[in-house]
């Protein structure tokens, strides 16, 4: 209806004020189950549907993260599934990368066509990583994680049956992340009776590269780090989702600061549309919260398949353009 239409002065987008929160809620509900806020899919929506293509769209995406993520992070902390050492390694690596990514975006990728090609390549990588998990080679390498998923899902189903229609608000003490050791070379933690470890330096370097990509794209990096942690470091998604969301939240604050304060130069519009980003964020709050709450009832394979298929579709569309 016409009375619901609004022209956002910063971005120039004209749309119903109900559309941004509804779209963000739907996207975030599914993506948050894999430790992703949904910003990586929200940016294509803004470019293709709302025709918002100038560099400030990246900064607007960061606002969405800042508003939408806290609810999901709260759920992971409350349930004891926040891997804090992983979270801080991700934050320390991505922060300097986000600053570099900002300059790449405003100086070298202001053209919508070139930026769409960049977005398509990033999405293709993310989707490919997720769908790779369905290959026979990947299944053999992740037998331990798959067994853990079965045990975790069975326990979640038991809780759901016992409480009937009520959602489980917590899990047994064995189903929380417990840090075992932290050093400059390796971090080790325990979850559900199983131990997992990863290289501290390797994770830091990954986070730095992800920060550059995320700063350019307009995402905090969780969309890239989450599938990489699962596919390469063989960490269960139930334990890395919270850390990925928290890392995305902190780095998004830095990202929106860069886009708002640091001069872009050459007449480039880089300041984010705060109102549009906030509306997306309001919908994201609801989607992320319930996605995080229901994640324990969804098999990892379903989460990866849904995300991977959607991401590959968008990637091919942008690359072909």
Greatest mean pLDDT range, 20-24, 103-107, 162-166: 20-24
Residue 230 has pLDDT above 90, yes or no: no
The Cα–Cα gap between 146 and 197 comes to 16
Q: What percent of the chain lies above the pLDDT cut of 90? A: 34
Res. 32 pLDDT band, cuts 50 70 90 = confident
Residue 170 has pLDDT above 60, yes or no: no
| Mean pLDDT of the region 271-286 | 92
On whether the CB atoms of residues 198 and 220 are closer than 8 A, the answer is no
Average pLDDT along the chain: 82
| Mean pLDDT of the region 259-280 | 82
Per-residue pLDDT tens for 87-135?
A: 999 999 999 999 999 989 988 998 889 999 999 998 898 788 777 767 7
- Structural domain of residue 244, as residue ranges? 2-320
If you search the block for the tokens 């989702």, which residue do you land on?
241
Residue 36 has pLDDT above 80, yes or no: no
Angle at Cα 40 formed by Cα 115 and Cα 228, nearest 5°? Answer: 105
Residue 165 has pLDDT above 50, yes or no: no
The Cα–Cα gap between 321 and 319 comes to 5
Kindly state the greatest CA–CA separation across the chain: 62
The Cα–Cα gap between 288 and 75 comes to 10
Give the residues across from 181 on adjacent strands.
Answer: 188
On whether the CB atoms of residues 295 and 33 are closer than 8 A, the answer is yes
312: left (phi over 0), alpha (psi -120 to 50) or beta: alpha
On whether the CB atoms of residues 306 and 89 are closer than 8 A, the answer is no
| pLDDT recorded at residue 189 | 93
DSSP collapsed to 3 states, 42-78: HHHHHHHCCCCCCCHHHHHHHHHHHHHHHHHHHHHHH
pTM: 0.78
Total number of domains constituting the chain: 1
């Amino acid at each position: 209806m016409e009375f619901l239409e609004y022209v956002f002065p910063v971005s120039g987008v004209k749309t119903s004020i109900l559309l941004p929160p509804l779209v963000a809620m739907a996207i975030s509900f599914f993506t948050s189950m894999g430790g992703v806020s949904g910003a990586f899919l929200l940016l294509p929506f803004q470019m293709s549907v709302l025709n918002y293509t100038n560099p400030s769209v990246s900064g607007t995406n960061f606002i969405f993260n800042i508003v939408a993520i806290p609810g999901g992070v709260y759920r992971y902390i409350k349930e004891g599934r926040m891997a804090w050492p992983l979270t801080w390694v991700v934050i320390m690596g991505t922060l300097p990368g986000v600053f570099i990514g900002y300059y790449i975006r405003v100086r070298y990728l202001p053209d919508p066509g070139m930026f769409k090609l960049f977005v398509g390549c990033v999405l293709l990588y993310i989707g490919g990583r997720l769908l790779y998990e369905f290959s026979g080679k990947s299944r053999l390498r992740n037998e331990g994680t798959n067994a853990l998923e079965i045990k975790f899902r069975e326990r979640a189903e038991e809780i759901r049956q016992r409480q009937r229609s009520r959602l489980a608000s917590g899990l047994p003490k064995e189903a929380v992340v417990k840090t075992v050791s932290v050093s400059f070379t390796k971090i080790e933690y325990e979850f559900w009776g199983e131990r997992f470890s990863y290289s501290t330096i390797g994770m830091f370097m990954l986070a730095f590269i992800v920060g550059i990509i995320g700063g350019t794209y307009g995402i905090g990096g969780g969309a890239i780090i989450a599938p990489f942690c699962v596919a390469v470091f063989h960490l269960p998604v139930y334990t890395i989702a919270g850390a990925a969301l928290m890392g995305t939240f902190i780095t998004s604050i830095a990202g929106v600061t860069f886009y708002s304060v640091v001069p872009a130069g050459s007449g480039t519009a880089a300041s984010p549309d705060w109102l549009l980003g906030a509306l997306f964020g309001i919908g994201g709050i609801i989607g992320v919260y319930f996605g995080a709450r229901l994640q324990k009832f969804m098999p990892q394979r379903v989460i990866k398949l849904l995300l991977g298929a959607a991401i590959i579709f968008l990637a091919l569309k942008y690359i072909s353009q």
